[in-house]
Structure 1
Amino acid sequence: MAIIAQLSDVHLAAGRDGEVDDGSGPVRALRAAVSSLLSLPARPDAVVITGDLADGGRPAEYARLHALLSPLPMAVYPMCGNHDDRDEMRKVFDDHAVVAETGVSPRAPVQYAVDVAGVRLVCCDTTVDGHAHGHMNEERLAWLDRTLAASPDVPTIIATHHPPYRTGMRFIDDLRFVDPTGFASVISRHPQVVRVISGHVHRASVGSLAGTVSTTCPSTYRQLYLDLSSQGRAAYTGEPAGFAVHVVGEDGSVTTHFAPTGNYRPLMDAE
């Protein structure tokens, strides 16, 4: 069994002085998320962070994030979102070999694959420079196809920042993964893909793509208002922050749990 925890949409923000305030909401929220992961009875084998690590893509934001993640004893795999700067992220996470290796050229996609307790985790870069929406061009899709073809018998989770399905939330769907048909076509050729996990939505949701279950993760910081009306108001709520935990069985079956941050202890034994 493999356990992969997912954090997303951290949005650490630097102030006018260029530094991150340790008392800020995103900092406190990330500390709570890290503490929550460490308090789980069965600790995850790895943690993937599906984008929007920083709010402005500034060096100080990534430096503070790196420090806040340091208590986690397991491997941590950061990914880019539309708020991130690929090159600045690489500079700070240069101790993460898989991230550093993606820096062959400036602005190169941050995309890589790693093995986690017998499961393949494939991290894709769906960001588009200067835009909030997501997309995977032919070059990125070809990389994904080759990567999946290299391990056809290993249960695989694909991670993206932008979800490849419509959520019904107009604010998010206007900033969606544009034209995911090529992405779906690649996945349909590789039946070992057991789950697609994403961020960007700032709340949990479940969809499907090419016959594969696809999910989004709550933000470690703020959740978006669930407005499914045609107007689609863009607003944050007071809902608790959270994270996701993906459990992959030896038979390749996957169960996803969504949990609020906080160290919740058993109050009584269930009967």
Structure 2
Amino acid sequence: MAIIAQLSDIHIAAGRGGAVDDDSGPVRALRAAVSSLLSLPARPDAVVLTGDLADGGRPAEYARLHALLSPLPMAVHPLPGNHDDRDALRAAFGDHPAVAASGVLPQAPVQYAVDVAGVRLVCCDTSVPGSQYGNMDPDRLAWLDATLAERPATPTVVATHHPPFPVGIPFLDDLRFIDPSGFADVIARHPQVVRVVSGYVHRGSVGMLAGRVSTTCPSTYRQLFLDLTSAGRAAVTGEPAGFAVHLVGLDGGATTHFLPTGNYRPLMEVDGAG
């Protein structure tokens, strides 16, 4: 079984002077998330970062992010969101061979596939530079189709920033994907895909895409208010920050857990189960 942790929507931000305040909310929140990951009884085999890693796409933000993630002993696999700059992200994670190899041209998509404990993780770039919405253009869809075709018998998790399924929050659903049908068609052709995991929503949610369970991840920083009314409202709440942990079996079974960050010990032992 592979254990893949997911951190998302970290939003490390530099101030007007270009430096990152080490006492800022996003920095303190990421430290708490890293500490929570390290305290898990079974440590993940890898961590995927599903976009909006930096708030302004500045090199200083990525440098601080990289340093804050350095206590993690497992591989960390980043992908960009609508707040990110592809080239700055790629430069900061130059020690990640697949990320570095994705940069053939300036602002080329950061997309790649890696093996995690017998499971495949395919990281897709749904960002559109200068825009909030997501998209997988024909070239990116062709890359995804070909990449999935390489390993048809290996259980696979596909990661994106923008979720390709509706979450019920109107203003987010308007921005998530220009046209998710092409993405869904590709996923439908590859039955080894057992999860599609995304960020962007700043809260955990579960949906379906092409018959596959698909999820979004809590933000390590701020959670979005769950407003399902027709107009919708963009507001954050005081809900706890969090992250996701995906358990993927070599038989293709998969389970996802959503965890709040923080130290909730001491544990209280209980008799029996349930």
- The residue aligned with 2:147 is 147
Aligned pair 1:244/2:244, yes or no? yes
What SS does the corresponding residue of 2:68 show, helix, strand or coil?
A: helix
**1:94 Cα deviation from its structure 2 partner:** 0.5
- Name the structure 1 match of 2:58: 58
- Amino acid across the alignment from 1:117: A
Q: Residue 30 of structure 1 aligns to a residue in which SS?
A: helix
Partner of 1:89: 89
TM value normalised by structure 2: 0.98
Deviation at 1:70, TM superposition (A): 0.2
The alignment's TM-score, normalised by the length of structure 1, stands at: 0.99
Q: Secondary structure at the match of 2:104?
A: coil
Distance 1:239 1:13 in 2: 21
Q: Which residue of structure 2 aligns with residue 126 of structure 1? A: 126
Aligned residues: 271
Q: CA deviation at 1:170?
A: 1.5
- Asked if the contact 2:80/2:125 (under 8 Å) is kept, the reply is yes
User: Which residue matches 2:36?
Assistant: 36
How far has the Cα of 1:174 moved from its partner?
A: 2.1
Give, in angstroms, the shift of residue 265 of structure 1. Answer: 2.8
Task: Check if 1:75 corresponds to 2:75.
Answer: yes
Q: Distance in 2 between matches of 1:177 and 1:222?
A: 22
The one-letter code of the counterpart of 1:188 is A
Opposite residue 35 of structure 2, the aligned amino acid is S
Contact kept, 8 Å, 2:119 with 2:250, in 1: the verdict is no
Letter in 2 for 1:4: I
SS at match of 1:182: helix
Please give the secondary structure, in 2, of the residue aligned with 1:174: helix
Code of the residue aligned with 2:125 in structure 1: it is D
Question: Aligned AA for 1:255?
Answer: T
The AA in structure 2 aligned to 1:181 is S
Deviating beyond 4 angstroms after TM superposition, the runs of 4 or more aligned structure 1 residues are none
Which string of whole-angstrom CA distances, capped at 9 and with x for unpartnered residues, describes residues 40-78 of structure 1?
000000000000000000010000000000000000001
Unaligned runs of 5+ in 1: none
C-alpha distance in 1, partners of 2:49/2:264?
22
The residue identity in structure 1 corresponding to 2:171 is: F
Cα offset, 1:251, TM superposition: 1.4
**Contact 2:13–2:55 under 8 Å retained in 1:** yes
Counterpart amino acid of 1:199?
G
| Whole-angstrom distance in 2 between the partners of 1:248 and 1:92 | 29
- The runs of 5 or more residues in structure 2 that have no matched partner are none
Identity %: 77
